[in-house]
Each structure stands twice: as structure tokens, then as C-alpha cells.
Copies of this chain bind each other. A is one copy, B any other.
Amino acid sequence: MAVPNRPVTTSSEAEAALFDLVDVYDRAYETAAAELSLSPAQACVLGRLDERRGMGALAEELGCDASNITQIVARLEALGLVTREPDPRDRRARLVARTPLGSEINERFATAFTFARTAVGRLSPDEQDQLTALLRKALG
């Protein structure tokens, strides 16, 4: 179902536009990941490893259970995209880092996921600033 998170009713034009944006964004993300044979979750985790970090930090940032990260990282590791090494300072912890292949795949993902770039690119610099301001205000 790709991205089923569509709203039930959109009572205003602006709400409908927000929905369309989210829908297209999510679908584009999923498509870009699929082009690299990654699940969205795998692409997401891989993208958050610009610096090596622990499992717990990933779980907290993504708002999910640590055991979920364990699984996703294990699959990324099996694909040769990340390494998981013991933290010398705290041997309970594991530090996850991208391998060179992981970095390459990550960059290819960033290239494939053109949606946000393209969408913003349709706006003039002034319009981009307006959009940013409006979204920030809407987000509260």
C-alpha cells in the first residue's frame, strides 16, 4: 500500500494540499529506497549514520524500540552497508557506522530521492522563504 496515511476528510484547501504533499513525499521516499533494494526503514537508518553512533541513539531519534533498531541494523550489516563495533569506552554499547559501500548507497539514495529538491526547486527563492515561514508557523 506504499503510504496509506491519507486523511479521512480534508475540510479545507490547505489541509488537502498538506495531505497531497505528505502522500507524494512518502511515496517518493519509498520508491527511491526500493530503487536501491532498501526498505524505507533501512534507507532511513542508513541516512542517519553520517557519524558513527550507538543503537540507543538511533532508537531514540526514530522514536522506536531498541530491538527494532537491532533488527534493521542487523539487516544493513548483512548487506555490507554498516558495521557494528563495540564501543571501547562502554562495552555494553555498539557503535554503528557506514561502510564505504554503505556511504555509496546512501549517496545514491540521496540522489534518487529527488522529491523535496524538485518541489522546492519549482519555487523562487522568495517563495521558498515564504513556504518555510508558513510551514514553521503551521508547525507551531
Contacts and interface: CB of A to CB of B under 8 A. Distances in A.
Contacts of A45: 4
Q: Which of A2, A6, A8, A117 has the most CB of B within 10 A?
A: A8
20 contacts: A1-B44, A4-B62, A5-B30, A5-B44, A7-B110, A8-B47, A9-B110, A12-B128, A14-B120, A14-B123, A14-B132, A17-B139, A19-B116, A21-B21, A22-B22, A27-B63, A119-B139, A122-B138, A131-B134, A131-B138
Interface of A: 1-2, 4-15, 17-22, 24-27, 29-30, 40-41, 43-48, 62-64, 68-69, 72, 106, 109-110, 113, 116-120, 122-123, 127-132, 134-140
